[in-house]
Structure 1
Amino acid sequence: MRDSRCLPLPLFLLLPPVLLSAFQADCFNINLRCTPSSQPHGYPCVKASRARGRNGLAPRMVAAEEKFFKLRKDFNVAARVWGDTKMTDPSKLWIALHGWADNAASFDRIAPMLLSAGASSIVCLDCAGHGLSDHRSFYHDIDHVADVLQVAELLGWSNFSLMGHSLGGCVAQAIAAAAPERVVQVVGFESFGWYSQEGGRKQLDALKTMCSSKIGSRQWTPYESLEACAQRRAKQNMIGVMEPKDAMVLVSRGARALEDGKGYVWTADPQIMVPRLRCSEALVLEILKSIRCPHLVLIARDGLFQQAFFFGLQPFSRRWCTLVFLAYWVTRIFSVIRGAPKRINFTEKASFSARIVSMYMLLCRYRQAKGLTVATMAGGAHYAHLTKPTEVVKVVKEWMQ
């Protein structure tokens, strides 16, 4: 049934060209450029003119130091610390945040390379409930923001840089928005704002699940060896392909032997598997809009945003933005007749119209972000920083110079 609030269909068809003109004036007057021949090392980028971080020299480090930060009584956050935390240049002091269900070892391959590329110190945190950090009763993504800022206080860092993978990148972006005077630069690997969820039935269902889940009732299934853990972790990877040798990097910190010696279980809190409340899209847009420092987002063609690579177009390029904008309004026209398509997860197989709705959401996020550089990699999947560390460090180094 047609919505009485909508314009008559013939008049509605005139909207896309009119809105496109306004869209182009708004979106493309921020000095964007994407020239394939000018991109370094074959990594196509979409850049907005903005001052970036500086590169320098740093001593080579071959080992990390284990540290624990006491945030509250009986609550500690673990970290792997690379380099010298006493250095004072905030563009060379990094806090690194891993993805959901991972741990600080996620950065074991790129941290030494980043030190050689100019970083002075990289503090790789185990988020609460992950790795060797203490557990909470329940988990919400926003809670990690306060934890990271408290760690920075304990380090004596008034200003610092942030990097993060997946969930960790979203947390880093939120910190850059909430404390813009403290964050010098932020890098997100496969991260461009939280996967949002509007208030409604799904939020209520998640809340009910959280309330019905008894603390301590969930237990991990044991595995006979660390190799078996790595095989399982590689198999559980839902985005792209992860080899067991790469999964072993995460397992080395993410699994522990049982007290009876009969196998291994994950160190993470089983409670992290409980469906959690998610942020609204309005909050995500406001976060991206409020980031004032140089901001790099690195995505892979076979990673979390693989659905954004269509028709051979570079995501967030001028042609991509124009096509998504027009396709979205055509979808809106058909939605008047056939019903609105749902928004999908970026890696979920769905109808073309649902895919366009999701891409338009990404476009809106991109338009809100200022000082942003988007770089893409041909491979590496969701864990490019783990599977292709040399290429990732090269992109970051070029961006920092």
Structure 2
Amino acid sequence: MIVLGAGASPVLAQGSVKDDSKFIREVATDNLLEIRLGDLATKKATNASVRQFGQQMVTDHTSMLNQWRPLVSQSGYPFQPGLSSQQQDEFNRLSKLSAADFDRTYMNTMIQDHQTEISKFQSQGMAAKSNEVRQLVTSSLPTLQQHLNQANQVGAQVGSTTTVAVTPTTPNNPTTQGAPGGGVTPGASTNPAPVSTPGQTTTTTSGQTSTTGTVATQTSTTTQNNVKADAKFIREINQDNVLELRMAQLAVGKAQDSEVRQFAQQLVTDRTRLQAEWNTMASSNGMTLGNGLGKKHQSKLKELQKKSGKDFDKAYLTMTVRNLKDYLDYLQKEGRAAKTTQVRQLVDNDIPVLQNHFTTAKRIGAKVGADTSPQLRSVSTK
């Protein structure tokens, strides 16, 4: 539900958990499926990495299910642990596979399931009517993205094959209207993978790539070396993405102004997508990006955590404007001078989205008394 006030931007109206009951029950059963499939993998997989991944799915999705259980109860429906008929069919299909076929098929399923879950969380979850659901969605997304990145890496070891529809994502949010949503769907590749043009369907098999409709740049030994030559830049971009994502997640829960919260929610959605694209490109070229922060970034996050109320809103927008200014200047200069086409393509995809964030952060920041004086050195898009 959208509420409009005179002269104000649209904001999400606060609803009750019962309004989100269908989504909550779906999340609960999705977690249950991942737990049961993970347990099956620990018993049936022949590859050690697949067994380890299955155990992590049991651990992490059990924790996530326990976090969602109270909301299931609040939604007015007692929690009854059970799979839908479609989920039960999926479980039965995997349980009947031979040991030789299980590892590859299970990892295919994990890649596809987590792509679906992330998409659902970013669309339905971030648009949930209750604040409790939106907060839990926000805190769950990084874990799901980490699972997808790991599934891509482990899947490459066992010859997983996935068909990925790569389509542009345009956030449907008044604070980011006009922001280009092009780029790769979160995690939409396995190792090795191409960088695809939006709208392309790519079938990727371990060691083989076929594309239809548009031209893709396939990973090769030469490209891998170029990407690794940009390793310092890629890791710095990852650190900036992680910091902005954590700041936005904090703002979703702590911001006093509804427009600040809405802006933070959109940043969580956009930054999760952007980070997924960088993680996918990195893992496709033999790099692993972590979710930790350096001392400088940790210091910024700790400083923000100490704020509350109107002081939080002011500090959050001040830091966001400043960070985006520095980040965009860095992308415009060093990013566009990167050694590999893959990195430069992601930079060009990111810049218009982040420019829109910068403009919106300055507008909302001015309203809450933040320092909005930083100016970009360049606002060109190409």
- TM-score, length-normalised on structure 2? 0.24
**RCO (CA 8 Å, sep 6+): is it higher in 1 or 2?**
1
Greater CA radius of gyration, 1 or 2?
1
- TM-score, length-normalised on structure 1? 0.24
